[in-house]
Chains A and B, each alone.
Chain A
């Protein structure tokens, strides 16, 4: 059983929830750019939330279904067509052998996740199927590649049509407000720069990828220099090198770095950063306390879990 990729998106890799514990050796966590959509896609097809999905970004892709399966596509910036007919994202659907699944890039985001009920039979490294080419762990998928799949026993075809309503998606807006925990090096910036950081809009540069998103906005001014003795970094950390333009660390980020960190994006809002369109989206930052950030994350997860709606009657007509 498999999926045949007949046209590959610019960014197309297998990603599960990532690998943890190896950062001390220089291995990033990897995993999805938009954990929210990844989580939802898996739940919609009845998978465990961290299971491996295809992550597609930045351009169109076409896949041929080689065996009947239950799928879901979640994320932003794409339109889904099955044999030419448009289907909504954030909904489980059944596709049959020889069906053509087309993912067309549209404005409004960068990344989508294709989950299949069951497993993607791809290799694992350090306990994770997340592809990390820089470390020799797999490679991006190209046209002509087959992704082997294993259908789950006793698959719930009745799940077809269940969906996650918009109220439970990450709030993608034209001007996203991204919540951050200040620091750890906020004191290395001038008060005027810290104020500008929370007051001014930033745009995402086209020089952005799975390692990091470069932002363009007011120049952040350091006192005592931009460099520090290299230390460990996490996803979401906003480093500011000497040019004063922030870089948000994304899942394939280097595990250690030597630039001051003005603030760190909270887990719940990482999907908003990931889906911000280079050269288009404006983002702003707002500070929150750690305990508030943790509560926001727990509420987001609970929202996805409880928000899934059974299939609508409309679906029977398809």
Chain B
């Protein structure tokens, strides 16, 4: 796997009960793959007192119970796990295929995205359903997946005037990112489609359809306005 940028990995305390491990300062699939490989490796043999690991695009935040361990112990453990981590052989979790209804009322910005790139709406759908995406991290609202892997030819700026209500399940594009809104919320992403499945459902076990590090593919759903 590629070497890390100069000066990384970098360990920094974040307050009195967390340690941040930074892998670099850019969005990069290779760096993000390392984040998830280490995250899996940590979870495989969790140190007592660790309360949460939070993957970022190029970082892993490790929270601990300061009544059980101290920052020095956590750092020593992290450094050891870093050295022993099988980055090359790390297994991705399963691939999740998500049907999307593209265009029409479900994807009110699909035509804009097509015109913006001077391609047909069908071509937008073809390009959006081709890659395998990785859930780089989650955040913004509960269950919101930031997906890496968008075809750069689909990169589209955010709306100038964000919507006050984006329906749950909407699939959007913002810059070089694509993602799915888990809940009804305000938002400025270009909406190209919508999924039927709930990616966050408190009534379901497990409530989250996706986890950081998962691989995701989109397919055009039956009955999609644009196939």
Binding site for B on A (CB under 8 A): 20-27, 125-126, 134-137, 180-181, 183-184, 228-234, 236-237, 254-257, 261, 264-267, 290-291, 293-294, 297-298, 301
Is B215 an interface residue, CB under 8 A from the partner? no
Chain A residues whose CB sits within 8 angstroms of the CB of B59 once the complex forms: 229, 231-232
Determine the residue in chain B with the shortest Cβ distance to A132: B142
- Tell me the complex Cα distance, A136–B59, Å: 28
Chain B residues whose CB sits within 8 angstroms of the CB of A22 once the complex forms: 52
Chain A residues whose CB sits within 8 angstroms of the CB of B70 once the complex forms: 290-291, 294
Interface pair A294/B66, CB less than 8 Å apart: yes
Interface pair A234/B17, CB less than 8 Å apart: yes
Most buried by A among B27, B59, B137, B139: B139
Q: Which of the residues B54, B58, B140, B183 comes within 8 Å of A24, measured between beta carbons?
A: B54
Report the minimal beta-carbon distance from A82 to chain B, rounded to whole angstroms. 35
Interface pair A228/B139, CB less than 8 Å apart: no
Determine the residue in chain A with the shortest Cβ distance to B54: A232
- Tell me the complex Cα distance, A290–B13, Å: 7
Q: Which of the residues B12, B51, B66, B207 comes within 8 Å of A184, measured between beta carbons?
A: B12
Determine the residue in chain A with the shortest Cβ distance to B55: A24
**Stretch from B18-26, B85-93, B123-131, B153-161 forming part of the interface with A:** B18-26
Report the minimal beta-carbon distance from A121 to chain B, rounded to whole angstroms. 19
Chain A residues whose CB sits within 8 angstroms of the CB of B143 once the complex forms: 25-26
Most buried by A among B25, B142, B146: B142
Beyond the given pairs A24-B54, A256-B54, 7 more chain A to chain B contacts, judged by CB atoms under 8 angstroms and listed by A's residue number, are A134-B142, A234-B17, A254-B141, A255-B54, A256-B140, A264-B16, A291-B72
Is B63 an interface residue, CB under 8 A from the partner? yes
Interface pair B140/A26, CB less than 8 Å apart: yes
**In the complex where A230-B57, A231-B56, A232-B56 touch, is A25 in contact with B17 (Cβ < 8 A)?**
no
Interface pair A237/B139, CB less than 8 Å apart: no
Q: Which of the residues B13, B15, B211 comes within 8 Å of A25, measured between beta carbons?
A: B211
Interface size on B, residues (CB 8 A): 46
Q: Is the interface of A mostly helix, strand, loop or mixed?
A: mixed
Report the minimal beta-carbon distance from B54 to chain A, rounded to whole angstroms. 3
Most buried by A among B18, B67, B144, B146: B18
Contact with A along B34-59 (1 / 0, CB 8 A): 00000000000000000111111111
Is B121 an interface residue, CB under 8 A from the partner? no
Interface pair B14/A261, CB less than 8 Å apart: yes
Interface pair B15/A181, CB less than 8 Å apart: yes
Chain B residues whose CB sits within 8 angstroms of the CB of A180 once the complex forms: 15
**In the complex where A25-B138, A26-B138, A265-B15 touch, is A232 in contact with B71 (Cβ < 8 A)?**
no
- Tell me the complex Cα distance, A26–B142, Å: 4
Interface pair A234/B63, CB less than 8 Å apart: yes
Determine the residue in chain B with the shortest Cβ distance to A182: B13
- Tell me the complex Cα distance, A234–B65, Å: 13
Interface pair B15/A237, CB less than 8 Å apart: yes
**In the complex where A24-B54, A184-B14 touch, is A256 in contact with B202 (Cβ < 8 A)?**
no
Q: Which of the residues B16, B57, B208 comes within 8 Å of A181, measured between beta carbons?
A: B16
Is B212 an interface residue, CB under 8 A from the partner? yes
Is B226 an interface residue, CB under 8 A from the partner? no
Report the minimal beta-carbon distance from A293 to chain B, rounded to whole angstroms. 4
Is B147 an interface residue, CB under 8 A from the partner? no
Q: Which of the residues B16, B25, B61 comes within 8 Å of A232, measured between beta carbons?
A: B61
- Tell me the complex Cα distance, A290–B66, Å: 10
Report the minimal beta-carbon distance from B57 to chain A, rounded to whole angstroms. 5
Determine the residue in chain B with the shortest Cβ distance to A292: B16
Within 8 A of A (CB), among B204-227: 207-208, 211-212
Q: Which of the residues B12, B25, B63, B142 comes within 8 Å of A228, measured between beta carbons?
A: B25
Name the 8 nearest CB pairs between A and B, nearest first.
A256-B139, A232-B61, A232-B54, A231-B56, A264-B15, A184-B12, A293-B16, A231-B59
Most buried by A among B17, B70, B211, B212: B17
